[in-house]
Every structure is written in structure tokens, then in C-alpha cells.
Amino acid sequence: MIKNDEENAKYQSEIKVAWKFVKKEGWDDLTRGDWRNASVEITDISLGDMLDGEPHRDEVLMVSFESKENLINGVPSIFVDLQEKEVVGYVPTE
């Protein structure tokens, strides 16, 4: 996933929702930077499984935050519903 400042500006409110979730879960200590360092991608979750949440829609925004170096597990990718602007799930990263 490539960080794109134009995409990030377009989805700023969704990124902030994802960042709030990351902080609530205590994963912000694993990130390099803050919500401004996110990468985003529209993705289809209709065929996949998420660890938390149930998909509300097929297409959601996947928000990823850069993890610090030398971590066994990084910050999970967070799925945000584009219409409701709420976290609908997440998947771990390595």
C-alpha cells in the first residue's frame, strides 16, 4: 500500500476514526508517527474474514499505519465503513 497525500486528504475523517480505534486498543505505541502517516486503500471485504466486527458493506476503507522497526507484529490494518464512518473490523499485520 502506497501512501498518497491526495487520498489521505480525501479520507481524513475516516483516518481519524481508525486512529482513534488504534489508540483505544493501545496500538499507538507500535506506530511510527500518528494518524497523518496513514496509508489508505478501498478494499472489498465480502469474501474475507476479520478478527473483529462484521462487514456492513462490501467496500470499505482499509487504513494502515506504519509500524516501528523490529516488531514481531505490527499495527493491524483497520477497516472503516465509508458511509457510516465507523470501524467495522481489523486484521493483523506482520
Predicted confidence (pLDDT) per residue in 40-87, tens digit: 999 887 766 554 555 556 789 999 998 888 777 788 999 999 999 999
Whole-angstrom distance, CA of residue 15 vs CA of residue 67? 16
The three-class DSSP label of residue 42 is strand
What pLDDT shows up at residue 2? 45
What pLDDT shows up at residue 74? 83
Q: Quick check: 36 pLDDT over 70?
A: yes
Predicted confidence (pLDDT) per residue in 3-21, tens digit: 567 767 889 999 999 999 9
What pLDDT shows up at residue 70? 72
* Domains with residue ranges and CATH for the chain: 5-91 (3.10.450)
What pLDDT shows up at residue 44? 82
Answer for the pair 48, 77: CB distance below 8 angstroms, yes or no: no
- Chain centroid offset of residue 76 CA: 7
Q: Quick check: 24 pLDDT over 80?
A: yes
